[in-house]
Amino acid sequence: MLNLSKFAGIILLLIIGLIAGCNPFVMAKGPDQITIQLSWFHTAEFAGFYVADQKGYYTDENLKVNLVAGGPEADPVAEVLAGRALFGVTAGDSIIRAQAAKQDVIAVSSIFRHSPLVVMTLADSGIQRPQDLAGKTVGVISPKMDTTWDIQFLGMLNKLKIKPTDLTFVPIEDYHGANELTSGRMQAVSGFFSSNEPVQARLDRLEPTLMFYSDYGIEIYSNAIFTTGPIAHERPDLVERFIRATLKGYQYAIEHPQEMAELALKYDDTLDANLQSATMQAQIPLIDTGDAPIGTMDEAVWQITQDILLEQEIISAPVDLKKVYTNQFVEKVQ
């Protein structure tokens, strides 16, 4: 004899299964988990990532991110190529160097559209232009003069026909504001971000003089966002979602700079809130230049980068710049 209660239960289970099979929310795929290798320690420099993480922009794109701090020993290109990170942040010359070494990485956006790199002196030093550096002691990032900061400094000297042998180079040891200048160890420091050490110098009630490399035709993207060629070509939807959320984060940071210090401190509570707030204000015109959407890259900058690397014999032959960068994802998310 048919057990009506059992029959009703079976029918109910079939109906629930059918509904679940047709319901995209029940069957929704879990978020893509991605790691981003940052180029430096946590700072408001990476405000857009923090906003996208904390405000739920990554969640809205079905992404779960892990932001890994960098530092002087970090190699974002190596981390991405090894598969330990899906995206990285690095200087533009690193992308070209990798391509020259047959390593398939490609820049998909840039945090800064204009280079923040400067030579910094004090207002009372009498140094007002690069030519005034002759005969002076200048701080550099590396004694080997092979970092992205140092090669740009050399590029500026070479362009202006200033002989490096006319300057004395010493490695920078103290990165707090203008400490190296006030100590008398050097008369100028090269390779500083205009949005960092000079900002700290002003907070310390000092008056720095800044000479931007870009004012002399030396321009390299300081914080290019990149991934591997296979990821960009085989998973374009993932890249697009990531770039959309990140650039939305930077747009919010630009419009609400007063919130960025608090956000940055969530990732490193030892940061100085006043410096982080001032840093965010100082970097806005470098990110939002008004001549193109934020995150956009220019071929002319990549060409300048390649020319510097060729001039200094860091690479032996030109690479195909079409493989070095693409604006396709930035353009799609506008």
The predicted structure's pLDDT at residue 48: 98
- For residue 17, tell me if it sits in a domain: no
Residues 185 and 235 in one domain: no
pLDDT above 70 covers what percent of the chain?
92
Residues 229 and 325 in one domain: yes
CATH number of the domain encompassing residue 195:
3.40.190.10
- For residue 71, tell me if it sits in a domain: yes
Q: How many residues does the chain have?
A: 334
Residues 97 and 177 in one domain: no
Count CB-CB contacts under 10 A for residue 51: 25
- For residue 310, tell me if it sits in a domain: yes
Residues 328 and 227 in one domain: yes
**CA angle, corner 185, sides to 182 and 188, nearest 5?**
75
Cβ-in-10-Å burial (0-12, 13-18, 19+) of 27 comes to: exposed
pLDDT in tens, 50-69: 999 999 999 999 999 999 99
Residues 242 and 328 in one domain: yes
**CA angle, corner 78, sides to 140 and 286, nearest 5?**
50
pLDDT in tens, 281-313: 999 999 999 999 999 999 999 999 999 999 999
- For residue 327, tell me if it sits in a domain: yes
In the chain, how many domains are there? 2
What mean pLDDT is predicted for residues 180-192? 98
Main-chain dihedrals φ then ψ at residue 307, nearest 5 degrees: -60, -40
CA torsion 179-181-183-184 (nearest 10°) is: 170
The predicted structure's pLDDT at residue 36: 98
State if pTM tops 0.85.
yes
Residues 183 and 258 in one domain: no
Helix axes 148-159, 92-100, angle to 10 degrees: 100
The boundaries of the domain holding residue 70 are 32-114+221-333
* Helix, strand, coil percent values for the chain (each to nearest 5): 45, 15, 35
